Amino acid sequence: MSVRVGTCSWADRTMIEAWYPAECRDPKGLLSYYSRHFDTVEVNSTYYALPSADAAAAWAGRTPEGFTFHVKAFAAMTAHRIEPGQLPADLRSGEFPGRDPGVVRECFRRFLEGIEPLRRSGKLGAVLLQYPPGFHAEDRRSWRKSMGWINRSLQVLDTPRVVVEFRHRSWYRERVLEATRRFLSEWGAGLVTVDEPQAGATSVPTVVAPTSELGYFRLHGRNRRNWNRRVPSASERFRYDYSPGELRELAAPIRELARMTEETFVMFNNCHADYAPRNARTMKEILGES
């Protein structure tokens, strides 16, 4: 059983304040310290802005051999609404540039260009395509529309490993899930397993249903109160400290996923204060991977 555990950020402001020593708070020190404790991380800054090749090269250079970066796709690539200011200046023309098909295609190109140093260094893991709650499969028409977007995305992404996460419960109805799994399997793309608050249609259940040789498990915490609220920061939405008992319970589906895949990554997205790295460390101990 191959399971690697990490967090979905290494530079969240509250995480820096609570977890890192004072002498390790410059960019080089943060990643150096993180990589002494974990051998994988998810880059979430690329959701808010397209990555730069210079930054990716620096990340690769600051981590040891065998370290793996998973990269979250830029918001415009996954049907999220964005502000024009999130785009490079030359792509901001028009009233809603983030919805322009030509702009979206260019975002894919620049995204791949930006993460190329990670791929070249052998440190690129999976590209995460996380779709918003409005990206649903309530009926056949919406399913086909959504799958058309995913199909085009997978055609463009020139990377061996892609994982897909949904944020609407309709994807987990039995027949929809079966059809979606068949589709993703044909592409070799993985379906992300999640743990998150159960708070209506925008929550999905913890379902172990891998569609590739790569298992990917994201733990968002269980802050039901903040899940669907407008909050000042993502840190507040994922503000949840798993108890040892909850982590032991979660070890069961993680082990199940690991038995069904060649390699499984367990990524803690409850990045508030020291919750994510502390919970990740405990999970490593529970799984015997420390």
Alpha carbon distance 101, 104 (integer Å): 5
pLDDT of residue 290: 47
* Cβ neighbours of residue 100 closer than 8 Å, sequence gap 6 or more: 94
| C-alpha atoms less than 13 angstroms from C-alpha of 253 in its C-beta half-sphere | 19
* Cβ neighbours of residue 76 closer than 8 Å, sequence gap 6 or more: 82, 86, 87, 98, 103, 104, 107
Residue in this structure with the two tokens 């024009």, named with its chain if needed? 84
pTM of the predicted structure, to 2 decimals: 0.95
- Report the alpha-carbon angle 242-6-128, nearest 5: 105
In the chain, the amino acid numbered 86 is Q
Alpha carbon distance 50, 72 (integer Å): 10
What count of other Cβ atoms lies within 10 Å of the Cβ of residue 279? 24
Tell me the pLDDT of the chain (290 aa) as tens digits. 689 999 999 999 999 999 999 999 999 999 999 999 999 999 999 999 999 999 999 999 999 999 999 999 999 999 999 888 999 988 887 666 667 888 899 999 999 999 999 999 999 999 999 999 999 999 989 999 999 999 999 999 977 799 999 999 999 999 999 999 999 999 999 999 999 999 899 999 999 999 999 999 999 999 988 788 887 788 788 889 999 999 999 999 999 999 999 999 999 999 999 999 999 999 999 999 54
- For the chain, count helices (H), then strands (E): 11, 9
CATH code at position 124 = 3.20.20.410
pLDDT of residue 1: 65
Cα–Cα distances in angstroms (integers) from residue 134 to residues 9, 53, 74, 166, 171, in the given order? 25, 31, 17, 10, 12
Alpha carbon distance 50, 252 (integer Å): 36
Is the CB of residue 222 less than 8 Å from the CB of residue 195?
yes
- In the chain, the number of structural domains is 1
The domain in which residue 97 lies consists of 3-287
The stretches of the chain forming alpha helices (DSSP H) are 13-19, 27-35, 45-48, 53-61, 101-121, 140-156, 174-187, 224-227, 234-237, 244-259, 275-287
pLDDT of residue 96: 63
pLDDT of residue 98: 66
